Structure 1
Amino acid sequence: MVENRKILLCVSGGIAVYKAVALVSKLSQAGASVKVMMTESAQQFVQPLTFQVMSRNDVYTDTFDEKDSSVIAHIDLADWADLIIVAPGTANVIGKLANGIGDDMVTTTLLAATAPIWIAPAMNVHMYDHPAVKRNIQQLHEDGIRFIEPSEGFLACGYVGKGRLEEPEKITALINDYFSSEYILAGKKVVVTAGPTRERIDPVRFLTNFSSGKMGYAMAAAAAEMGAETILISGPVSLPVPSGVTRILVESAEDMLQAVAAQYETANYVVKTAAVADYRPQAIANQKIKKQQGNSTLVLERTVDILQHLGQHKTNQILIGFAAETNNVSQYAKDKLARKNADYMIANDVTEVQAGFESDTNRVTIYGKNDFEQIFDMMPKQQLARQLFKLITDREESHDS
């Protein structure tokens, strides 16, 4: 799917530069047109000639070295690219871009770009965990830049931890997946619910759960990237709004029900990833409940099951539910699929390492009508979201034809 696609690879200085060479090789062999630009530090690890040979294109290293006098190189390259990859992405280049600094060929081009930018970080595990680096990554997330999360493994500095550049094969697969599903949701309206709900007990306490909202936000981001009008109805989380997404903030299960109902009639796809409270306090105290001697009883009442409510009122919508389970995952997911009149149920075991609420990765199985079932391997939630939409839209198109 990358054949004839124009990919600009921005290489910054780190020992992982050698992997960028392999990435150029794989993309070129797949038929992509790849152009490379390098920071001064990157050239200390690999000479530009290596990338020139692999890409069969000039390599750009100097803002003031204009190879074609009819254009301004960094503007022309920014306009040329269908996709821009920064790999390896050092703490230095991440910090510059997050703060709008353009002092070399790479950063000036990135600041002029309108194409999607993906950064594949690579650095020492302690650098990756530094508060300043975390702030910069968060800022770039909010600016709409996507990150290819680094692997955990042995680092050149001798540490073992998160910070190793993702393997070229995996980055190539992500790029291929991106282009294969580009704009397949164009003209569609996708409504996604995400995060937890809060059910108030009194002015200072509430009932909630551990949902981070990451899977729901990944689904919303993927839908927007794939061309959909995307409405994200979110409980309280600390995540940036994905680029191209309209977010509606809610608090309680009842708030979420009303927000979804308002969008439901015009929706083509509804994705229920939110972990909605099943129960709420029967009465909310107007004042803080004070401690008493002995035990206390909190009387709860059921909230409306939003997914079941939507299933009962479904017309032409494709209704997609999520089942976060701790045991009997398949049995419970299939039961929910039938009982709630959903079209698909995506289930995962939240007790599995790196597949729970707070993780950046997930492993799921998707269930559909007529005993459809497909297992997805562990992968970043952003990648998983795109693959889920690709599978579902392919199946729905085949049903319509």
Structure 2
Amino acid sequence: MTGELAEAVVDLAAIAGNVERIAGATSAAVMTVVKADGFGHGAVPVARAALAGGATWLGVTSAAEALQLRSAGLTVPVLSWLHGPGTDFAALAAAEVDVSVAAPELLDAVAAAARGTGRTAQVHLKIDTGMSRHGATAEGWPELVAWARKYEREGVLAVRGLWSHLATADSSPYGVTAQTAAFAEAVAYARDAGLDPELLHLANSAAAFTAPHTHFDLVRAGIAAYGVEPVPGRAFGLRPALTLRTQVIMAKRVPAGTGVSYQHTHVTARPTTLALIPLGFADGIPRGVDGRAQVLLGGRRLPIIGRVAMDQCVVDAGDSDVRIGDPVTVLGPGDAGEPTATDWATWADTNPHEILTGIGTRVPRRHESKGTFTADVRVEGALPFPHHGRKRP
């Protein structure tokens, strides 16, 4: 670190390698999901690394995220999937961004925007197969399909894809089987109604490795691309890409009976050395992990004690000789014994996604490549890898 109190170092070679491993597990094409600023890793650098690793699509949540990729010069296919009535569908059509639609009202808005730009909007219709979040219900699917077919005949939009999202791919094959069957029914209905989508996609990170019958034409890899194993208790050779590092900014010796941080939720049981690190819940350290969470300091895992504050937290260093400026690894791949994002998720009773995306914006990201991938490669225009897709069933 040079002048910074903390930094998040992102290994782009790990991203590329993870995507290559995902691509090797399927005959379908791979979409890398780079929403939420690339799960906190930096959307544009991650996108370039993922494309170098074999992805041929990028996925985002919002119009703003999609247009950021286009502004960076990335011209590969992009799908944006969460929109409201105020979305600028004209800007998305002009930027040749595919959009997901799950309601006739939004399909109307997409069609109107396409007419205004003189372009044919590319849409993916989403069916809710059991997630009970976004997506048309089985009852609403016929109306959505009918309107999409109408607009296709008018030439204002093309249904490029049909898709859904799995709820239990990391835990229950029975749920996956039921959702896959529901998806197949929705696809059959759409085809009978005259739609001929180029892409069917259902699989997420967990299903990419465990449920090949869900792969269809495209798998959408989110957390796996960042090196977090998507199925608890199973390892697929992924490498975590982000390391969060900081330093000790204060060290003090205190006697037994010393209360630590707000409300003195921790009181020292013996004389000990307290090390202060300049990261708190505004930087992504969960507030309620005192007594459970650990960091790597001086080659040892040491516990965070006392209430985590907005900007800082306290580490119990015991009898270690700790000095101001000593390096601290908060999380990383685990190579040196440091905690991983999965460890932090366990301590905070959440998932690694929340840990990674919660690392605050005041923590600068530094991108490097520890492997053969070159961090500043620009992937524009033609796709750098062959299409991994297979023919539709």
Calculate the TM-score normalised by the size of structure 1. Answer: 0.29
Calculate the TM-score normalised by the size of structure 2. Answer: 0.29
